[in-house]
Amino acid sequence: MRKRRNSGSVVVLTFFAVLIGAAVYLYNSAMFEREAPKIDIKHGAYWNLRSGLHLRLEDGSGIKSYKVVLQTAKGERELASSSYTTPSKKVEIEIKPPRGVVGAKEKQVKLIVQAQDGSKWNFFNGNTATKEFVFTIDRRRPKVNVLANSYKIERGGSALVVFKATDENIDQIYIKTSFGKVFHPTPFYKEGYFISLLAWPTNKRNFRAEVIATDLAGNKVKAYIPLYLKNRNYKVSNIKVSDRFLLGKVADLASEFDETADIQDPIKRFKAVNEDIRAKNEALIHKITSKVPDEMIDDFRINRMYPLKNGKVVASFGDHRYFYYKGKLISESYHMGLDLASKAMAEIRPQNGGEVVYADFNGLYGNMPIIHHGLGLYTLYGHCSSLAVSQGDEVASKQMIARTGKTGYALGDHLHFGVLVQGVEIRPQEWMDKKWIQLNITKVIQLAKKMIDKSE
């Protein structure tokens, strides 16, 4: 009898163990997951009712169905709904903007999103999530008005623009060009006004710039900057490369960089230095000089630039150089500065003060300080033999910052003088011309301030 009872007890215990195990398995199974679907809309708290809304639904067991309802003062309206035979773990829906549903005086609407997953939990009914999104209605586009700008811009040159941009819910204000470059304006003089320098790169044949303002509701407006365009041709140089040069200066320079230290072939070594190392050095320059302060300024005054006393131009800006070895083209590059020379280790004294944002060795440019003069305008001084400033220093007008030299990719003692606007190299000659500065910078600012004062 005891054996039978013991056998029966074992069977019962085994049954319950299997039952509990099955229950635990099902409880932890993905089929019976208990998390409600995640609901998210990629949009802010404002809506212009012209652009659509991007809805994302996610769930571990898959989305089985969803419904989107718009609630207004007039009632509710279904905007979208769907059911899936095979649940999907991620569902992306573009909700089209409702037309003629929201009254002109209505300030807010509510979007109610309900989603159900494919879980077997809750007696095979799955998990349900409901989320509400409240949007403030904003149909008005920002207002943009160009007040004053330089009359013209040359290829390889720069210009100035002052404009007004206002909106209760302003989001972004920037200047977009036809070649993809975006210039960021600086708040100017009074609330709602902005100023920016523009630049037309030498390697772009056309130029067009528009002020663009967007608000938090997605409203967008464009304002064309009316600049007269003047093309300018730049020098093309065909340079013969000698063995002496390849095995001398280039070999010495290449030994300083990890990327070229082990290249033995003179031609490949020159190409790597002239193109790869140059690109790396210029990438650093562009990164440093792309920054624009966002603090409001009252004015922008700049003196004629001439950093080297009695400096003679020995190489021009924008020169497109082709390098040949025994009649075969082996490399090319652009010279994006103005080379000035006077005497060995001459003092470099910029006519304008500013902040030293870089003062160190930079490959082909050698010892190189960079000064920010405000408004995204930078000056660069390459090949210096020694530096008299450090990064972070504030320098005054005509203060000595360095001495000329032949560090980096330089065959003789000289100064490589560069001018950049928000990371774009431009013709230094413009900023060395007092009349050009007066017409394109000073007078534009004076006119803009008069117009602002008159309108306030």
Q: What is the DSSP string of 28-92?
A: HSGGG--PPPEEEES--SEE-SSS-EEEEEEEEEEEEEEEEEEEETTEEEEEEEEEEEEEEEEEE
Could you give the C-alpha distances from 184 to 60, 173, 181, in angstroms and in order? Answer: 43, 8, 10
Write down the CATH number for the domain with range 33-137: 2.60.40.1930
In angstroms, the CA 351 to CA 304 distance is 7
Identify the pLDDT of residue 405: 97
434 φ/ψ angles, rounded to the nearest 5 degrees: -60, -40
Identify the pLDDT of residue 12: 57
In angstroms, the CA 373 to CA 358 distance is 13
Domain at 236-426: CATH architecture: Distorted Sandwich (2.70)
* Sequence ranges of the domains in the chain: 33-137, 143-232+442-455, 236-426
Beta bridge partners of 46: 136
Could you give the C-alpha distances from 82 to 52, 68, 302, in angstroms and in order? Answer: 18, 9, 63
Read off the DSSP letter of residue 241: P
Count of Cβ atoms closer than 10 Å to residue 197 Cβ: 25
In angstroms, the CA 64 to CA 117 distance is 5
Identify the pLDDT of residue 208: 97
Beta bridge partners of 182: 176
In angstroms, the CA 342 to CA 412 distance is 11
Beta bridge partners of 226: none
Q: pLDDT tens for residues 115-170?
A: 988 887 776 678 899 999 999 999 999 999 999 999 999 999 999 999 999 999 99
For 265-289, b where at least 16 C-beta lie within 10 A, e where not — what string?
A: ebbebbbbbbeebbeebbebbeebb
In angstroms, the CA 171 to CA 411 distance is 50
Identify the pLDDT of residue 60: 84
385 φ/ψ angles, rounded to the nearest 5 degrees: -80, -35
In angstroms, the CA 340 to CA 6 distance is 106
Indicate the pairing of strand 319-325 with strand 236-240: parallel
As assigned by CATH, the class of the 143-232+442-455 domain is mainly beta
Read off the DSSP letter of residue 306: -
Strands (E), 345-385: 347-348, 354-361, 367-372, 377-382
In angstroms, the CA 389 to CA 400 distance is 8
Identical fold for domains 33-137 and 143-232+442-455, yes or no, is yes
Q: pLDDT tens for residues 362-408?
A: 999 999 999 999 999 999 999 999 999 999 999 999 999 999 999 99
Q: Which amino acid is at 115?
A: A
In angstroms, the CA 223 to CA 229 distance is 17
Place of tokens 């070999």: 251
For 316-350, b where at least 16 C-beta lie within 10 A, e where not — what string?
A: bbbbebebebeeeebbebbbbbbbbbeeeebbbbb
Instruction: Spell out the alpha helix ranges (H) of 59-204.
Output: 121-124
Count of Cβ atoms closer than 10 Å to residue 101 Cβ: 15
Q: Which of 353, 354, 339 is nearest to 308 (CA)?
A: 339
Residues of the chain with pLDDT under 50: none
